[in-house]
A and B are shown apart, each in its own frame.
Chain A
Amino acid sequence: MEKEELINELTIIVSPYAQDAEALAHIQEDTDFIRDLKINSANLVDVVLDVEEKFGIEIDNDSMARMLTVKAAIRIIEEKLAAGAGK
Chain B
Amino acid sequence: MNNRVVITGLGVVSPNGADLAEFRHAIRNGISGIRHDPQLEKLLFSCQIAGKPVIDEERMLQYFTPLELRGLQSTGIVYGVIAGMDAWKDARLEAMMMNETPDWESGSVFGTGTSGIDKFREAIYKVDNLQIRKLGSTVVAQTMSSGVSAYLSGKLGLGNQVCTNSSACATGVESILMAYERLKNGSATKMLAGSTSDSGAYIWGGFDAMKICPYQYNESPEQGCRPMSATAKGFVPGSGAGAMVLETLDSALGRGAHIYAEILGGHVNSGGQRGSGTMTAPNSEGVQRCITMALKDAGLNAKDIDVINAHLTATSKDVTEIENWVAALDRHGGEFPYINSIKGMIGHCISAAGSIESVASVLQLSEGFIFPNINCEDLHPDIEKLIDPLCIPVKCLEKQFNVLAKASFGFGDVNACIIFKRYRDGKRRIDQ
Contact = CB atoms under 8 A, between A and B. Distances in A.
B137 interface: yes
B127 to A, nearest CB: 15
B134 interface: yes
Question: For this complex, into which size category does the number of interface residues on chain B fall?
Answer: under 10
B136 A16 contact: no
A16 B67 contact: yes
A16 B66 contact: yes
A16 B65 CA distance: 9
Interface string B279-323: 000000000000000000000000000000000000000000000
A49 B126 CA distance: 14
A45 B137 contact: yes
Nearest to B69: A16
Interface string A5-43: 000000000001100000000000000000000000011
A17 B67 contact: yes
B385 interface: no
Nearest to B140: A42
B70 interface: yes
Contacts of B136: 45-46, 49
B137 A42 contact: yes
A interface, how many residues as a size bin? under 10
Contacts, number: 15
Interface in A47-62: 49
A17 B70 CA distance: 11
Contacts of B66: 16
Contacts of A45: 136-137
Interface in B178-237: none
A49 B137 CA distance: 10
A16 B70 contact: yes
Nearest to A42: B137
Contacts of A16: 66-67, 70
A46 B133 CA distance: 10
A16 B134 CA distance: 18
B130 to A, nearest CB: 13
Nearest to A60: B133
Interface string B134-174: 10110000000000000000000000000000000000000
Nearest to B141: A42
A49 B134 CA distance: 7
B307 to A, nearest CB: 47
A7 B76 CA distance: 38
A46 B137 CA distance: 6
A71 to B, nearest CB: 23
A3 to B, nearest CB: 27
B104 to A, nearest CB: 24
A53 to B, nearest CB: 9
Nearest to B98: A19
A80 B418 CA distance: 62
Interface in B251-281: none
Nearest to B65: A16
A43 B141 CA distance: 12
Nearest to A59: B133
Of listed B66, B67, B134, residue having the most chain A CB within 10 A: B67
Interface of B: 66-67, 70, 133-134, 136-137
15 contacts: A16-B66, A16-B67, A16-B70, A17-B67, A42-B137, A43-B67, A43-B137, A45-B136, A45-B137, A46-B70, A46-B136, A46-B137, A49-B133, A49-B134, A49-B136
Interface of A: 16-17, 42-43, 45-46, 49
Given A16-B67, A43-B137, A45-B137, 4 more contacts: A16-B70, A43-B67, A46-B136, A49-B133
